């Protein structure tokens, strides 16, 4: 590996470039015309414009990204998250071009990206899954048959889904046909794939996910688990590590079972296996696997001291990593708050525009992952997340108090942001008591 192109933008591109600098590996940034003045463009050793602001003509255009790799002499590509990071076609095209794709093989990505196939794969590997259809459901009659077998309520999900798109909750039979059609239509529009499957709806649960690293040869380790239960429209807002709700026995069970399954898959690189956790049953149910680094990887890094991006690169380079499970221990507690350029009082309406004043609260155990700076103009074309604030402390209570102080000290002006909203959540009694679930915001009429 001589040079790495980052096929992404924003804070994750900045994050990757920093690790590449530590590893003495030259970096190549790609950018759209809307991102000409972005931080990742300035930080990289080289930068190449790949097209206009529209994602489909820049960050999602495989031909343009591969052309940039060829022009710069990059022999490896890190996809970050979002955009093409979970596109098997992109990984396959890199493989065919002789470019190292820093992630799993296209075959594994395709297998685990198909949520129906992923269910079957993980079930065969011994991972608990939610009751539901054994495969893709081909018709409304098939959906009705599954619903009769497992009982209402159910969830109809897009096989290629993500971010809540192509997902419909069905409480009773009389709305089934309408929701079935709506799910298929949305899945077709979002993913050009209207295949769906069905699962039992679990009304009250936590969202627990296990961070894993595999070497592609059958060896895998876990970096423990995260609790990502605070969500809005299936989008995570706050993430914690480890999951304070779990007993040591439950933690050992699900992390060990997950790492074992990833080893059996011969998975290469970083990935996250996501579960619903029902506290009353002390039961885990597999949801999906993300075959990439995730936004919330930071909290796992903070409690373990492991650089996940570095491990991804080591696996791509050497088909191995220089760490064993015995080396990985939990050190304290970490919380991540995602900060978006949005106005919560106006339905979280995006708030693009110029940042004139910027100051992040700092202190021991505080980490800021961002791409913004004073004078930066947030474009309206992309995801509205502009920063991640991470607080690390010896225990959950101290981490919460530390996060509050950091949020209070942080100034991002004059645009609207979710800083105050996150501060409100940090002070909510049920959050402090850790009595939340994935419908916490809705149940408490917060949104």
Single out the catalytic residue among 111, 206, 226, 292.
Answer: 292
Helix (H) or strand (E) holding 269: strand 268-278
User: How far apart, in whole angstroms, are the C-alpha atoms of residue 242 and residue 190?
Assistant: 33
Sign of the C-alpha dihedral computed for residues 48, 54, 56 and 60 taken in this order: positive
Is 9 an active-site residue?
no
Task: Quickly tell me which residue has 């798109």 as its tokens.
Answer: 165
Q: Please, are residues 237 and 444 in contact by the beta-carbon 8 Å criterion?
A: no
Cα-flanking dihedrals φ and ψ of residue 417, to 5°?
Answer: -140, 175
Helix (H) or strand (E) holding 111: helix 106-113
- Three-state DSSP at 266 gives coil
User: How far apart, in whole angstroms, are the C-alpha atoms of residue 356 and residue 415?
Assistant: 9
Q: How far is CA 233 from CA 94, 164, 193, 236, 438, in A?
A: 33, 7, 21, 8, 10
User: How far apart, in whole angstroms, are the C-alpha atoms of residue 389 and residue 99?
Assistant: 34
- Cross-strand partners of 429: none
Enzyme catalytic residues:
292
């Amino acid at each position: 590996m001589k040079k790495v192109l980052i096929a992404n933008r924003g804070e994750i591109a900045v994050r990757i470039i920093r690790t590449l600098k530590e590893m003495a590996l030259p970096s190549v940034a790609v950018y759209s015309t809307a991102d000409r003045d972005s931080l990742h463009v300035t930080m990289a050793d080289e930068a190449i414009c790949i097209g206009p602001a529209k994602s489909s003509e820049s960050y999602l255009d495989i031909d343009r990204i591969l052309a940039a790799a060829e022009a710069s002499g990059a022999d490896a590509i890190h996809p970050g998250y979002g955009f093409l990071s979970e596109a098997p076609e992109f990984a396959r095209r890199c493989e065919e071009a002789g470019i190292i794709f820093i992630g799993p093989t296209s075959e594994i990505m395709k297998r685990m990206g198909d949520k129906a196939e992923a269910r079957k794969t993980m079930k065969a590997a011994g991972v608990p899954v939610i009751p539901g259809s054994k495969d893709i459901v081909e018709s409304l009659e098939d959906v009705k048959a599954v619903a009769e077998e497992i009982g209402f309520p159910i969830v109809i999900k897009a096989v290629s889904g993500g971010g809540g798109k192509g997902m419909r909750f069905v409480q009773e039979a009389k709305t089934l046909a309408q929701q079935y059609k709506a799910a298929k239509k949305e899945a077709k529009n979002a993913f050009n794939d209207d295949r769906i499957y069905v699962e039992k709806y679990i009304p009250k649960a936590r969202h627990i996910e296990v961070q894993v690293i595999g070497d592609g040869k059958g060896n895998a380790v876990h970096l423990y688990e995260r609790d990502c239960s605070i969500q809005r429209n299936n989008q995570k807002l706050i993430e914690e590590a480890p999951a304070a709700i779990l007993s040591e026995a439950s933690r050992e069970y699900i992390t060990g079972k997950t790492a074992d399954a990833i080893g059996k898959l011969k998975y290469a690189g970083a990935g996250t296996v996501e579960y619903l956790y029902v506290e009353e049953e002390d039961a885990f149910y597999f949801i999906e696997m993300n075959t990439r680094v995730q936004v919330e990887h930071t909290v796992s890094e903070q409690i373990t001291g492991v650089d996940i991006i570095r491990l991804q690169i080591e696996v791509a380079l050497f088909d191995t990593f220089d760490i064993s499970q015995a080396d990985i221990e939990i050190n304290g507690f970490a919380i991540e708050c995602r900060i978006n350029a949005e106005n919560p009082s106006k339905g979280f309406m995006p708030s693009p525009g110029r940042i004139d004043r910027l100051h992040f609260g700092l202190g021991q155990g505080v980490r800021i992952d961002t791409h913004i700076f004073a004078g930066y103009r947030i474009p309206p074309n992309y995801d509205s997340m502009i920063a991640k604030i991470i607080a690390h402390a010896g225990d959950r209570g101290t981490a919460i108090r530390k996060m509050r102080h950091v949020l209070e000290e942080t100034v991002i002006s004059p645009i609207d942001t979710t800083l105050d909203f996150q501060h409100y959540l940090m002070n909510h009694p049920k959050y402090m008591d850790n009595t939340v679930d994935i419908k916490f915001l809705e149940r408490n009429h917060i949104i």
